Chain A
Amino acid sequence: MAATRQRKPNASKEELLGYYRDMLLIRRFEEKAGQLYGMGLIGGFCHLYIGQEAVVVGVEAAAKEGDQRITTYRDHGHMLACGMDPDGVMAELTGREGGYSRGKGGSMHMFSKEKEFYGGHGIVGANVPLGAGLAFANQYRGNDNVACTYFGDGAANQGQVYETFNMASLWKLPVIFIIENNQYAMGTSLKRGSSTPALYTRGEAFGIPGEAVDGMDVLAVRDAAKKAVAHCREGKGPYILEMNTYRYRGHSMSDPAKYRTREEVQKMRETRDPIEHVRELLTLGGDATDEELKAIDKEVRDRVNKSAEFAQASPEPDLSELWTDVYA
């Protein structure tokens, strides 16, 4: 991990409580999704975000209304963090009518025009030029919105990522490339798949500034994202943020995770957990009481349980849905 964790938070109690609530919502939501998967209620691929919560919550803290976001298939956290309804997300996971895509997209394919969330893409690296296209539209329209484009350490080796870096820098597109380096491209560790491990330097040949960020520290993420967003809004072109983070669960649900040790995972959970970090900042600083945090825990748990109930009660899509939305 690159940076050291902040001990003196430059964040108000309200801000910290907000980050705590948002990260916990993702954590509990993903745990519930894992449970529903175990019960056979969610099928296919299901990639959980547990461990990486600080990345998306920190970036969202730097975004404004109108900014867009687009990501890969590990996307539930991004949807919750930008304010999409947990009911609609969970019901899409169960393939029900109440899901964001009415059951036609699944875990990897959800969208919200309202929240400027552009998916949810299943082909590794393919969402990167799409994100630059969102930024292109911002520039074309002359607004100051920024397109937050997330991808993983594995995608960072795809050719189209570099095609995109070139165009984004050439045309000074307002796009932040957020590399969520969770250390493993499925089962291949970074050093087994990347000739150079410092992914934030991958834009150097194109003149794109990059920065390594402690992706387990929501405040470090937020501050780096603020800097990148300002850079984009000033018309200076793209910015790369390499978020060093860690996923606790397997690549997808059926991953036995033989490529890393149990101890490695346990150590990260015990010493680097992003949610525990904020909890400590709140309690050790004396800002928040146990009762306040417990109340948030309960609120979040209730919200997630409600979404799980909704996702099971919502009916399967009508068979006529098979034939709709092929053409506009």
Chain B
Amino acid sequence: MTIQILMPALSPTMEEGTLAKWNVKEGDKVSSGDVIAEIETDKATMEFEAVDEGVIGKILIEEGTEGVKVNTPIAVLLEEGENASDAENAAEAAPKAEPKSEAEPEPNSAPKAAAEPKAPEPATLDPDWPADAPMKKMTVREALRSAMAEEMRADGDVFVMGEEVAEYEGAYKITQGLLDEFGGKRVIDTPITEHGFAGLAVGAAFAGLRPVVEFMTFNFAMQAIDQIINSAAKTLYMSGGQMGCPIVFRGPNGAAARVGAQHSQDYAAWYAQIPGLKVVQPYSAADAKGLLKSAIRDPNPVVFLENEIMYGKSFDVPDIEDLTIPIGKARIWREGSDVTLVSFGIGMTYALEAADKLAEDGISAEVIDLRSIRPMDTATVVRSVMKTNRCVTVEEGWPVCSIGSEISAVLMREAFDYLDAPVLSCTGKDVPMPYAANLERHALVTAQEVIEAAKSVCYR
């Protein structure tokens, strides 16, 4: 059977090109890999190699021809035992069908929500544990430590890796006692090599282990962000669902105190944009414990954002066997009727303080702790705003493309008719973090700013 040689596409964008030169003539024998022609694409002149063996039976497009469409037959190749008349017949045969491009319906009917794991039941004032559970005071630090220890006891595939997590027991003492209990095989000190150990842990997760990677702070995870996003978050999708990446990246995030611009940054909005990642930023010790346990069990990569200033704060934590908090569910901290304050992580301290002061002025604020940034429990926020008709968001991160911006957009889309005032965002200031004590205080969000924003949307 004769073979038609077609005008090739030699770049991702090429639709037509110039057949600059034939390096063979009719009757020449060619084998795979021989350069038979030179073709000018939209980018460069490329050599065009033969794929099949045979004899050039007929040249259909003369050299120097411009604007030859991709897939146009340009020559006929004869295989062993064929002659020129076969070439004539082949040349007259209809050209091969164009690659199909039939109109397709726009994918807007596809369910958008599928990319977002559905939030559990909407939040209520009820806690996520039995009402009669005994409570115990616990710091956020101890809550995180006990979450890891419990999960490591339950599953031998869980291990902790990071800088100073083992012998030093954690730069912030979150891994205190873990080396003693679990040994060096499962509590692993790494060199200072964030990019490398993040990638190594992702590889271990591909192989089915469940790493908990501690970044001494999330500022250093910027060195590793390619592995977090390109390797951890995208591989399940790129593999058509074959490969999972059950991994937790955790560590302190956001401003500490007086540590300057490179060590003071909130990454919530950065990671919140990435499909394939879950992002959690707890405020209370109970949520820190329950969410970290859920994160370690989750089959997806979870970015778990903590805060150094919160580590030493104590909260009531239910003293029950296996406390887990579902990822993707907000918590209503206090009910109110005049304005909804939405926050997460350390931002909650400002929101709650503001709510107390607002109450003194006769303004009843409802305070929602998002707890999870992705997936985000926007249903709880929307429901609250339908009641209060006003919303102020609170976070330490920068204002541009912030979590507050996202909430604002959601409310405009889903609660437009319920809003009696514009949604206001209280954020960190749009500057790198300064060192001087007074400047730093000013760069961070304050309870006073939240109070003023709440009064402003209440027209008070």
Contacts and interface: CB of A to CB of B under 8 A. Distances in A.
Interface of A: 31-32, 34-35, 37-41, 43-45, 68, 70, 99-105, 109-113, 118-123, 126, 128-138, 140, 159-160, 163-164, 166-167, 170, 248, 253-254, 256-258, 262, 269, 319-320, 322-328
Contact of A104 (B32, B51, B238): B238
Given A133-B203, A164-B199, A41 B99 contact: yes
Interface residues of B, number: 72
A248 B33 contact: yes
Nearest to A102: B240
Contacts of B9: 37-40
A122 B195 CA distance: 16
A254 B41 contact: yes
Interface in B41-84: 41, 43-47, 49, 51, 70-71
Given A103-B240, A166-B193, 8 more contacts: A31-B51, A40-B70, A101-B238, A119-B243, A132-B196, A136-B200, A256-B44, A319-B110
Contact of B99 (A40, A45, A138, A325): A40
B227 interface: yes
B242 A113 contact: yes
B114 A269 contact: no
Of residues A68, A119, A325, which shows the largest number of chain B Cβ atoms within 10 Å of its Cβ? A325
A111 B115 contact: no
A39 B99 contact: yes
Contact of B11 (A34, A109, A253): A253
Which of B43, B44, B242 has the most chain A CB within a 10 Å cutoff? Answer: B242
Contact of A323 (B110, B200, B204): B110
Contact of B110 (A110, A111, A262, A320): A320
Nearest to A128: B199
Given A118-B243, A322-B107, A134 B230 contact: no
A129 B195 contact: yes
Contacts of A111: 235, 238-239, 242-243
A323 B115 contact: yes
Interface in B169-191: 185, 190-191
Nearest to B115: A326
Contact of B226 (A37, A44, A100, A126): A126
B275 interface: yes
A131 B207 CA distance: 10
A171 to B, nearest CB: 8
B202 interface: yes
Contact of A130 (B46, B107, B202, B278): B202
30 contacts: A34-B49, A38-B9, A39-B71, A101-B242, A104-B240, A111-B235, A123-B230, A129-B203, A130-B227, A133-B201, A133-B204, A133-B207, A134-B204, A137-B203, A137-B208, A140-B159, A163-B193, A164-B199, A164-B200, A166-B196, A167-B191, A254-B11, A319-B107, A322-B110, A325-B239, A326-B237, A327-B115, A327-B236, A327-B278, A328-B244
Contacts of A323: 110-112, 114-115
Interface of B is mostly: loop
A39 B8 contact: yes
A159 to B, nearest CB: 7
Contacts of A100: 239-240, 242
Interface of B: 6-12, 14, 32-33, 35, 41, 43-47, 49, 51, 70-71, 96, 99, 104-105, 107, 110-112, 114-115, 117, 159, 185, 190-191, 193, 195-209, 226-227, 230-231, 235-244, 246, 275-276, 278, 299-300
Given A123-B230, A160-B196, A327-B276, A109 B238 contact: yes
Contacts of B70: 38-40
Given A163-B196, A319-B110, A68 B239 contact: no
| B33, B96, B199, B208, most chain A CB atoms within 10 A | B199
Given A137-B208, A170-B191, A248-B33, A130 B111 contact: no
Contacts, number: 212
Nearest to B40: A256
Q: Output the residue of A44, A138, A167 with the most chain B CB within 10 A.
A: A167
B231 A121 contact: yes
A102 B9 CA distance: 24
Contact of B236 (A113, A132, A262, A326): A326
A320 B241 CA distance: 14
Contacts of A163: 191, 193, 195-197
A133 B199 contact: yes
Contact of A167 (B200, B202, B243): B200
Contacts of A44: 12
Contacts of A170: 191
A136 B204 contact: yes
A248 B49 CA distance: 11
A272 B230 CA distance: 37
A160 B195 contact: yes
B206 A159 contact: no
Contacts of A130: 199-200, 202-203, 206, 227, 231
Contacts of A322: 107, 110
B337 to A, nearest CB: 36
B203 A136 contact: yes
Nearest to A248: B33
Contacts of B46: 254, 256
A101 B206 CA distance: 16
